[in-house]
Amino acid sequence: MKNVKLKSLPGSSKPKAAAKRSAYGPAEVEEIFRRFSVQRPEPRGELEHVNPFTLVVAVALSAQATDVGVNKATRPLFAVADTPEKMLALGEDRLRDFIKTIGLYRNKAKNVIALSEKLITDFGGEVPRTREELMTLPGVGRKTANVVLQMAFGQAAIAVDTHIFRIANRIRLAPGKTPDEVEAKLMRVIPKHYLYHAHHWLILHGRYVCKARRPECERCVIADLCKSPEKTCDIPAPLVELPPQVVPVAG
Ligand code: SF4
């Protein structure tokens, strides 16, 4: 999952927009997420993992890297090290070899070993289930903690990554200057019954339709509702369920 780069995000550089409240009323937000839910009834993240521990590791490795690149490295890694104990047994040097295709891999290897140690000493080898405890792990910030809470433990949490930050500001759903501000606004404006999946709906919408360089508005199911000054089309794409999500695999 790529980090948020505040200054370079299209649609996020206007201080006026950042200070405003959501441009949408409750009925409009309901309709936006109803359409996302029809398109993708069961959205899922694209980071491969086999248990909460491997999810923590995958998310920690994904800063400033693509999910595809992380999956390529973690597939063989998790085959040999899918618990904190096995990760420690593998050791930092061999771990580095597995992840050396990922940016910042030296530092990330250190963090993964350190967080494995802490999981064993402080949490009995189990991944904790609260944000506060998760954030005590080396290399785990609020965004990583939210991903783990949502994906591993089924809690409604929104991890504001580069896609969510861009969309929230571009379409003025939850304008904010920082990821924390956007997260708080999204948690307020999104109807409770859509909160659990909202994280993935927004990420996938940003990754595949409302893209950073040029939003593909002609393929967008909320084009008629969208209030972005950047939109190029008012006609919504047909609202149909998309084929089952295929997690991209690096060659
Ligand atoms: S209409 Fe365009 S700008 Fe608006 S959400 Fe859809 S893709 Fe993004």
At residue 6 the predicted structure's pLDDT band, cuts being 50, 70 and 90, is very low
- The answer to whether residue 133 is domain-embedded is yes
Q: pLDDT of 13-60, one tens digit each?
A: 444 444 579 999 999 999 999 999 999 999 988 899 999 999 999 999
Same domain for 148 and 92? Answer: yes
CATH number of the structural domain spanning residue 149? 1.10.340.30
Average pLDDT over residues 175-186: 96
Q: Name the domain boundary from 97, 123, 153.
A: 153
Instruction: Please write the tens of the pLDDT for every residue from 74-115.
Output: 999 999 999 999 999 999 999 999 999 999 999 999 999 999
> Within this chain, do residues 73 and 144 fall inside the same structural domain, yes or no?
yes
Tell me which residues are annotated as active site: 143, 161
Nearest to 143 by CA among 159, 163, 127, 128: 159
Number of domain units in the chain: 2
* 41 closest CA partner among 199, 240, 241, 237: 241
pLDDT greater than 50 at residue 187: yes
pLDDT in tens, 107-151: 999 999 999 999 999 999 999 999 999 999 999 999 999 999 999
CA distances from 221 to 29, 36, 44, 196 (A): 13, 8, 19, 20
Q: Are residues 21 and 81 in the same domain?
A: no
- C-alpha span between 46 and 104 (Å, rounded): 20
The contacts of residue 121 (CB under 8 Å, 6+ apart) are none
Q: Flag whether pLDDT at 188 surpasses 80.
A: yes
Closest residue by Cα to atom 4, ligand 1, is 226
CATH code of the domain in which 12 resides: 1.10.1670.10
Residues 75, 138, single domain; the answer is: yes
Count the alpha carbons within 13 Å of 131 in the hemisphere toward its beta carbon. Answer: 13
Is 244 within the bounds of a domain? no
Q: Is 167:173 a contact under the CB 8 Å cutoff?
A: yes
- 231 occurs within a structural domain: no
For 89-131, the DSSP string reads HH-HHHHHHHHTTSTTHHHHHHHHHHHHHHHHHHHTTSPPSSH
Domain that holds residue 39: 6-43+158-219
Does residue 250 form part of some domain? no
Ligand 1 contacts (CB < 6 A) are 170-171, 209-210, 215-217, 220, 222-223, 226, 228, 230-231
Q: Is 233 annotated as a binding residue?
A: no
